[in-house]
Amino acid sequence: MASPRGLPISSFILLTLFTFLPNPATSLRTSFIKLPGSDGSRSSAADTYCESWRLAAETNNAGTWDVIPSTCVDSVAGYLNGDQYGSDYGVIADYALAFAKTVQVSGDGKDVWIFDIDETLLTNLDYYKAHGYGSEPFESNSFNEWVVGGTAPAFEASLRLYNALKQLGFTIVLLTGRDEHQRSATETNLRDAGYSGWERLLLRGPEDQGKSATNYKSEQRSKLIEEGFKIRGNTGDQWSDLLGFAVADRSFKVPNPMYYIP
């Protein structure tokens, strides 16, 4: 039997085989089956997961957690050191100020806006850079040394909001989980960062030790209401700053993917 164009059948078969065999030089460079991550898919999948985890944490859907996932350290670091973190903060501050402008401030000093301090008015990012961006368990002694050092800078957006609220006539109350023995260092740090004119700085006393942040801050807000204050707004980086009882008319959660305080 003859092949097309009169080639002997044996020659036709050999020619066909060589036509479809891969070039050895090419096969060394190209794999028909891509290994996982060989095209960056593994890194992309991790980044996508970490973005989703951060959203779950910020919206309080992640529940109680102790440290950030180890696979998300680079993602969280990139977020905190990039432009998005500041942009997110700024947008929330803008919404808070827009709400504040709708409040009919009475002028009697009873219209209160509450601020948390850490990761709300002051940023401890330099501390957390040295401690894995929240991937290491919290260590109270080293953090106390940082607090006493008093070098935490202000968030630009928070300082802008803070000053605007004072101009609108709100009474500012600072409600923090810091301890009473840290009062002097905290006041100095706040003033050095540009904050002034707060009505009260409420810190944990001996009777507050062991309480959850939610209960402690709810109790402090309740005491303010009993004194006749009206809590119009509240800004914090933790849901425990905002939830519980005796809550504000409007609460504003600023981002913090580094730690969770119940």
Q: Give 185-240 pLDDT, tens digit per residue.
A: 999 999 999 999 999 999 999 999 999 999 999 999 999 999 999 999 999 999 99
Q: Which residue blocks in the chain are alpha helix, DSSP H?
A: 9-20, 24-29, 41-58, 73-81, 83-100, 125-129, 140-149, 156-168, 183-193, 213-226
Q: Quick one: 148 exposed, middle or buried, by C-beta within 10 A (0-12, 13-18, 19+)?
A: middle
Per-residue pLDDT of the chain (262 residues; tens, 9 = 90+): 444 444 444 444 334 434 444 444 433 333 333 433 434 455 789 899 999 999 999 999 999 999 999 999 999 999 999 999 999 999 999 999 999 999 999 999 999 999 999 999 999 999 999 999 999 999 999 999 999 999 999 999 999 999 999 999 999 999 999 999 999 999 999 999 999 999 999 999 999 999 999 999 999 999 999 999 999 999 999 999 999 999 999 999 999 999 999 9
Residues 6+ apart with CB under 8 A from 137: 66, 67
pLDDT at residue 44 in the model: 87
Model pTM score: 0.84
CA distances from 86 to 42, 82, 254 (A): 28, 8, 10
CA–CA separation, 208 and 216 (whole Å):
7
Question: What's the CATH fold of domain 43-253?
Answer: Rossmann fold (3.40.50)
Please say whether the beta carbons of 219 and 29 come within 8 A: no
pLDDT at residue 12 in the model: 40
* SS3 state of residue 28: helix
pLDDT at residue 127 in the model: 98
Nearest to 111 by CA among 251, 254, 252, 248: 248
pLDDT at residue 42 in the model: 54
Amino acid at 46: A
Structural domain spans, the chain: 43-253
Kindly state the tokens that stand for 241: 């700053």
